[in-house]
Structure 1
Amino acid sequence: MDHSALLELAARLAHDAGQAIEAIRRAGFEVERKGDASPVTAADRISEGIITEGLRAAAPDIPIIAEEAMSDGVIPPVAPRFWLVDPLDGTKEFAAGIPEYCTCIALIENGRAVLGVLGAPAEPAIYAGILGQGAWVERGGVRRPMKARPTPATGLVLMASRSHRKDTGEAGFRPPVPVIETIPMGSALKYARIAEGVADVCPRLDGRTMEWDTAAAQAVLEAAGGRMFDPHGHTLRYGKAQYRNEGFIAWGAE
């Protein structure tokens, strides 16, 4: 399967997982705690099952690194090409009834996030992109291209974490242009706003994210002309030890 076919596969699975997530939200659910004290729900597990089973059925040769399986100790051997899956990014928002959560599916090749899908079932919307081929958003069955905007001289719209704002290192962020508006938002949907061209930057400098938190968003953002880089200016890479990220900044077009 080529990248376009794999992107369509990931978009379909994100849609199907999103429908299951919304069904669980409407029916009610319990919140449990994982070993690291982070929340998990039936929606996380069912979404992960839908996504990983679909990926394995269609592309059995590509290993899958998925958040909940990793939490359970299921860690496939490192490979040059693999999927990174967060079945429900923004579980805190989901549990609180805040419609800022998404599914994240990314394909990694030789350390780069080459394609990604963010499924936002509460909107509902699908954000997707292939590195070097462009990005799109689908709402109501209609797809339109997305382009990140250049840094406006009048000031930045900054996306901030809703649940982790005190811990993100945002206070140490010193942009070259003043911030004129700050919008708190949960999950990787923050980066979709930058890819759409309605926001400009999101700093996450604390180094407390995992690769599945960022890979799909990075692929979408970079496909839309934006950037995601570490404090040294290097593009984020994937397949690192324990799949942990350093701090990073997501930014719009140059």
Structure 2
Amino acid sequence: MLTDSLIQSIIDISHQAGAKIMDIYQKDFAIYEKSDESPLTEADLAAHNCIEAGLKSVSDLPILSEESADISWQERSSWQTYWLVDPLDGTKEFIKKNGEFTVNIALIDKGVPVFGVVFAPVLEQTYVGVLGQGAYKITADIKAPISPKAHTEGETWKVVGSRSHQSPEIQALLESLSGDTELVAMGSSLKLCLVAEGAAHLYPRLGPTSEWDTGAAQAVVEAAGGKVTIIEDASDALKADAAPLRYNQKESVLNPFFLVSC
């Protein structure tokens, strides 16, 4: 199902959506409010329309996007394989113009993210993961394999935290680790990608996220050899038997708390 041609098509679609975003990023733009009061810009909608049209041109699979999330559970529950899309993850980063936002396209099969593309238009970096085949990062047309880095004794723990959603529970987790710790601030799904490429050891998420926020980057993490596992709180963050984060298993699209690790 995942041919080299299809993989390249999805990468191209993410880049096309990124170009739509950058057209708006480089000028003044309108900001609206979603029903949950989170910001929605012209760029979200432009990227959504671009991705939806692109996916429909190469695939007959259903699409769940943050900007078309009103599909009923009755319909979604019958999906075995589908595209999961966040056309602009990190809208607050976009509004702040710090460059830490991404285009995310994932293929979910029976709850598992088997393929994902995460594209950061400002940084001009693309992360790609195919479960069972590995993950890589594309920068300036150079494709380099990536893999997570295990923490070694005596080494400073590098722990990823959110720039926009800092959680007080993170401090409890940092204190539970043996040795020195360093908090690495980052926005959007790039937080997961930092662990996937070995730039950080852990990313604990002890705050709300939705499935489209994580699907593509989880595919990158797991294809690279890392893990994204469900946790209850900071105290059990490093449990060896934690269950993996999975998708489209319940009516709500909200994720439980999770940990990204090697």
What's the TM-score, normalizing by structure 1?
Answer: 0.92
- After TM superposition, what 4+ stretches of structure 1 lie above 6 angstroms from structure 2? none
- Aligned equivalents of 2:223 and 2:90: distance in 1? 23
User: 1:245 is paired with a residue of what secondary structure?
Assistant: coil
Q: Specify every segment of 5 or more residues in structure 1 that has no aligned partner in the other structure, as ranges.
A: none
User: For residue 37 of structure 1, what is the amino acid of its counterpart?
Assistant: E
Mapping of residues 24-103 of structure 1, within 5 Å: 24-60=24-60, 62-70=61-69, 73-75=70-72, 77-78=76-77, 79-103=79-103
User: 1:27 is paired with a residue of what secondary structure?
Assistant: coil
Offset, 1:176: 4.1
Q: Which residue of 2 aligns with 1:235?
A: 244
What's the TM-score, normalizing by structure 2?
Answer: 0.89
- Aligned equivalents of 2:261 and 2:158: distance in 1? 10
Q: Which residue of 1 aligns with 2:193?
A: 192
Q: Deviations over 1:159-209 (max 9, x none)?
A: 101111036x32342554435211111100011111111111111123x11
User: For residue 202 of structure 2, what is the amino acid of its counterpart?
Assistant: V
User: For residue 191 of structure 1, what is the amino acid of its counterpart?
Assistant: L
- Aligned equivalents of 2:218 and 2:201: distance in 1? 14
- Aligned equivalents of 1:176 and 1:170: distance in 2? 11
- Aligned equivalents of 2:117 and 2:173: distance in 1? 28
User: For residue 185 of structure 1, what is the amino acid of its counterpart?
Assistant: M
Q: Which residue of 2 aligns with 1:11?
A: 11
Offset, 1:6: 3.3
Does the Cα contact within 8 Å between 1:66 and 1:85 map onto a contact in 2? yes
**Number of residue pairs aligned between Structure 1 and Structure 2:** 247
Offset, 1:4: 3.7
Does the Cα contact within 8 Å between 2:167 and 2:206 map onto a contact in 1? no
Q: Which residue of 2 aligns with 1:250?
A: 260
Correspondence 1:164 to 2:173:
no
Does the Cα contact within 8 Å between 1:155 and 1:177 map onto a contact in 2? no
Q: Specify every segment of 5 or more residues in structure 2 that has no aligned partner in the other structure, as ranges.
A: 233-241
User: 1:113 is paired with a residue of what secondary structure?
Assistant: strand
- Aligned equivalents of 1:179 and 1:124: distance in 2? 32
User: For residue 246 of structure 2, what is the amino acid of its counterpart?
Assistant: R
Does the Cα contact within 8 Å between 1:106 and 1:116 map onto a contact in 2? yes
Offset, 1:13: 0.8
User: For residue 186 of structure 1, what is the amino acid of its counterpart?
Assistant: G
Offset, 1:95: 0.4
Offset, 1:112: 0.4
Does the Cα contact within 8 Å between 1:155 and 1:179 map onto a contact in 2? yes
